[in-house]
Amino acid sequence: MASTTESVDTPAAAAAAWLAQVDTADAAASWTAAGAAFRAATSPDGWGERLRAARGPLGPLTSRALAVEQRLDGLPGAPPGAYVVRQYHSVYDGVKAVVETLTLRHEDGAWRVVGYYIR
Protein backbone atom coordinates (compact mmCIF):
# COMPACT_ATOMS: atom_id res chain seq x y z
CA MET A 1 0.00 0.00 0.00
CA ALA A 2 1.31 3.47 -0.89
CA SER A 3 2.01 5.95 1.84
CA THR A 4 -0.25 8.97 2.21
CA THR A 5 2.45 11.21 0.72
CA GLU A 6 2.81 9.01 -2.35
CA SER A 7 -0.92 8.70 -2.91
CA VAL A 8 -1.47 12.47 -2.64
CA ASP A 9 1.59 13.50 -4.64
CA THR A 10 0.16 12.80 -8.06
CA PRO A 11 -0.57 15.29 -10.80
CA ALA A 12 -4.30 14.56 -10.41
CA ALA A 13 -4.26 15.20 -6.66
CA ALA A 14 -2.15 18.34 -6.99
CA ALA A 15 -4.41 19.68 -9.74
CA ALA A 16 -7.56 18.94 -7.74
CA ALA A 17 -6.20 20.63 -4.61
CA TRP A 18 -5.07 23.70 -6.54
CA LEU A 19 -8.32 23.99 -8.49
CA ALA A 20 -10.27 23.75 -5.23
CA GLN A 21 -8.41 26.85 -4.03
CA VAL A 22 -9.08 28.64 -7.32
CA ASP A 23 -12.75 27.61 -7.25
CA THR A 24 -13.17 29.35 -3.89
CA ALA A 25 -11.28 32.41 -5.21
CA ASP A 26 -8.47 31.85 -2.71
CA ALA A 27 -5.84 33.63 -4.77
CA ALA A 28 -3.31 33.83 -1.94
CA ALA A 29 -3.37 30.10 -1.21
CA SER A 30 -3.31 29.10 -4.89
CA TRP A 31 -0.38 31.45 -5.57
CA THR A 32 1.54 30.02 -2.59
CA ALA A 33 0.81 26.42 -3.67
CA ALA A 34 1.87 27.06 -7.28
CA GLY A 35 5.29 26.27 -8.70
CA ALA A 36 8.26 28.58 -8.90
CA ALA A 37 7.67 29.60 -12.52
CA PHE A 38 4.07 30.59 -11.75
CA ARG A 39 5.11 32.65 -8.71
CA ALA A 40 7.95 34.28 -10.67
CA ALA A 41 5.55 35.32 -13.45
CA THR A 42 3.14 37.26 -11.23
CA SER A 43 2.83 38.74 -7.76
CA PRO A 44 0.17 37.53 -5.33
CA ASP A 45 -1.83 40.71 -5.97
CA GLY A 46 -1.40 40.38 -9.74
CA TRP A 47 -2.60 36.77 -9.60
CA GLY A 48 -5.60 37.80 -7.52
CA GLU A 49 -6.57 40.41 -10.13
CA ARG A 50 -6.15 37.93 -13.00
CA LEU A 51 -8.12 35.26 -11.17
CA ARG A 52 -11.02 37.64 -10.46
CA ALA A 53 -11.02 38.88 -14.08
CA ALA A 54 -10.97 35.38 -15.57
CA ARG A 55 -13.26 33.52 -13.21
CA GLY A 56 -15.55 36.18 -11.75
CA PRO A 57 -17.78 36.58 -14.82
CA LEU A 58 -18.21 32.81 -15.15
CA GLY A 59 -20.22 32.33 -11.97
CA PRO A 60 -20.09 29.18 -9.85
CA LEU A 61 -18.60 25.97 -11.23
CA THR A 62 -21.27 23.48 -12.28
CA SER A 63 -19.06 20.63 -13.52
CA ARG A 64 -15.49 19.81 -14.50
CA ALA A 65 -14.33 16.70 -16.36
CA LEU A 66 -10.82 15.73 -17.35
CA ALA A 67 -10.60 15.57 -21.14
CA VAL A 68 -6.86 15.08 -21.73
CA GLU A 69 -3.75 14.36 -19.70
CA GLN A 70 -0.34 14.45 -21.33
CA ARG A 71 2.97 13.63 -19.63
CA LEU A 72 6.05 15.36 -21.04
CA ASP A 73 9.77 15.28 -20.33
CA GLY A 74 10.07 19.01 -20.99
CA LEU A 75 8.41 22.01 -22.60
CA PRO A 76 9.87 24.52 -25.05
CA GLY A 77 11.30 27.52 -23.23
CA ALA A 78 10.69 25.98 -19.79
CA PRO A 79 13.19 24.61 -17.29
CA PRO A 80 13.98 20.92 -17.76
CA GLY A 81 11.88 18.48 -15.81
CA ALA A 82 8.80 16.31 -15.74
CA TYR A 83 5.56 18.02 -16.75
CA VAL A 84 1.92 17.05 -16.99
CA VAL A 85 -0.64 19.03 -18.96
CA ARG A 86 -4.25 18.42 -17.91
CA GLN A 87 -7.16 19.81 -19.88
CA TYR A 88 -10.66 19.95 -18.45
CA HIS A 89 -14.06 20.62 -19.98
CA SER A 90 -15.74 22.84 -17.41
CA VAL A 91 -19.21 24.33 -17.14
CA TYR A 92 -20.03 27.44 -15.12
CA ASP A 93 -23.38 29.05 -14.37
CA GLY A 94 -22.53 32.22 -16.31
CA VAL A 95 -21.40 30.50 -19.55
CA LYS A 96 -22.10 27.32 -21.43
CA ALA A 97 -18.62 25.72 -21.30
CA VAL A 98 -14.93 26.50 -21.16
CA VAL A 99 -11.66 24.63 -21.45
CA GLU A 100 -9.30 24.89 -18.49
CA THR A 101 -5.68 23.90 -19.03
CA LEU A 102 -3.30 23.26 -16.14
CA THR A 103 0.40 22.68 -16.58
CA LEU A 104 2.10 20.99 -13.63
CA ARG A 105 5.82 20.50 -13.03
CA HIS A 106 7.43 18.11 -10.60
CA GLU A 107 9.65 20.26 -8.36
CA ASP A 108 10.90 20.01 -4.81
CA GLY A 109 9.43 16.52 -4.54
CA ALA A 110 5.85 17.54 -5.39
CA TRP A 111 3.66 18.33 -8.38
CA ARG A 112 2.93 22.05 -8.62
CA VAL A 113 0.86 24.12 -11.03
CA VAL A 114 3.05 26.33 -13.22
CA GLY A 115 0.41 27.39 -15.74
CA TYR A 116 -3.34 27.96 -15.81
CA TYR A 117 -5.31 28.95 -18.89
CA ILE A 118 -9.04 29.26 -19.31
CA ARG A 119 -10.86 29.83 -22.59
Query: Across the chain, what does the average pLDDT equal?
Result: 90
77: left (phi over 0), alpha (psi -120 to 50) or beta: left
pLDDT in tens, 18-69: 999 999 999 999 999 999 999 999 999 999 999 999 998 898 999 999 999 9
pTM for the full model?
Answer: 0.88
Q: Say yes or no to pLDDT of 3 above 70.
A: no
What structural domains does the chain harbor?
4-118 (3.10.450.100)
DSSP conformational letter for 48: H
